[in-house]
Structure 1
Amino acid sequence: MTLACHCLDCQRMSASAFSLGAMIPASGFRIVKGRPVARPLPGSRRHHFFCPLCMTLLFTKVEGADERVNVRVTLCDDSSWFTPFVETMTQDRLPWAVTPAVHSYDAFPTPAEFQRLLAEFARWGESG
């Protein structure tokens, strides 16, 4: 599932209005070169991993959601395919930051909403 997150952490870590990510199955994710540096935020369930050379945010894992990895798509050689399906934490959105996301949440979706979104995203991707 593709998403744009407007939370203050993402704004600060990306030095932008929001971060863009693709949630992919952990079983399909592997690091092929190097060793990312883990930098969890104190008190957070989100564990962020950075490039050890330039400290660019690469991906995030969330405790309790071990089946998914949130990869920062703008690091791909070609991210032109990316369109956010969901935007989260719009309560922190900068007034001018607009995305074409299909769904918008003031905070994070509940676990039940999240499961519904994953199923809807699968159908959305098939139609696009």
Structure 2
Amino acid sequence: MLDWNLPWEGGCRCGQVRLRISAPPLLTMACHCTGCQRMTASAFSLSAAIPSEGFSVTKGEPVIGGLHGAPRHYFCPYCMSWMFTRPEGIDWFVNVRATMLDDPSWFTPFIETWTSEKLPWATTSAVHSFEKLPSFNEYGELTAEYAKQAKKPAPPPAGSPS
């Protein structure tokens, strides 16, 4: 865990909701589905799958938004930033929107999903691409490969608070 320079802090655009990450990501992703395109007003959403025990909201109370169904998308109630998603029935990880981290500069999507719905010009540097989602059986291999190859955040400069 030390090579990930944890913990990480993050928050919404207005700062009313803050979060803390204390476990390294299982996987990083770009999702090209039309739902993510509409919720981000962009070509795709970026997320890091964080083990649930390594994720906490430290300030504020996020609210459920998006489609209000499964999965549960959480937003800041004031600025409406889409912060994270908890997939229904999969309690062992939280998909944190990577751009909610105070320093997302290390983030690179390892997989991209729903390329069948991607905008023709949208490209990422993802190592693996899937027309929809990987099969459930593929996630074990993908997370093991990600753990070996993942780009990790640079350590803070000497003398800076950690």
Q: 1:10 to 1:55 in 2, by over 3 A?
A: same
Matched, 1:20 2:46: yes
Residues of 2 paired with 1:63 and 1:13: CA distance? 18
Matched, 1:34 2:82: no
1:9 aligned to 16, 19, 35, which one?
35
Q: CA deviation at 1:64?
A: 2.0
Unaligned 5+ segments in structure 1 are none
Matched, 1:116 2:137: no
Q: Percent identity over the alignment?
A: 53
Counterpart residue number, 1:57: 82
Residues of 1 paired with 2:56 and 2:102: CA distance? 17
Q: CA deviation at 1:63?
A: 1.3
Which has the higher mean CA deviation after the structures are superposed, 94-103 or 75-84? Answer: 75-84
Q: CA deviation at 1:46?
A: 1.1
Unaligned 5+ segments in structure 2 are 1-26, 154-162
Counterpart residue number, 1:78: 103
**TM score, norm. by length of structure 1:** 0.93
Cα-to-partner distance string for 1:57-107 (whole Å, 9 max, x where unaligned): 000010121100000011212111000000000001000000000000000
Greater share of residues in helix: 1
| Letter in structure 2 aligned against 1:51 | C
Name the Cα RMSD after superposition. Answer: 1.8
Residues of 2 paired with 1:126 and 1:75: CA distance? 18
Residues of 1 paired with 2:34 and 2:114: CA distance? 9
What is the number of equivalent residue pairs in this alignment? 127
Any idea what SS the aligned residue of 1:64 has?
Answer: coil
- Contact (CA 8 Å) 2:107, 2:151: kept in 1 or not? no
Counterpart residue number, 1:105: 130
Q: Which runs of 4+ in 1 moved over 2 A?
A: 39-42, 125-128
Cα-to-partner distance string for 1:33-73 (whole Å, 9 max, x where unaligned): 0000012626x531100001111100001012110000001
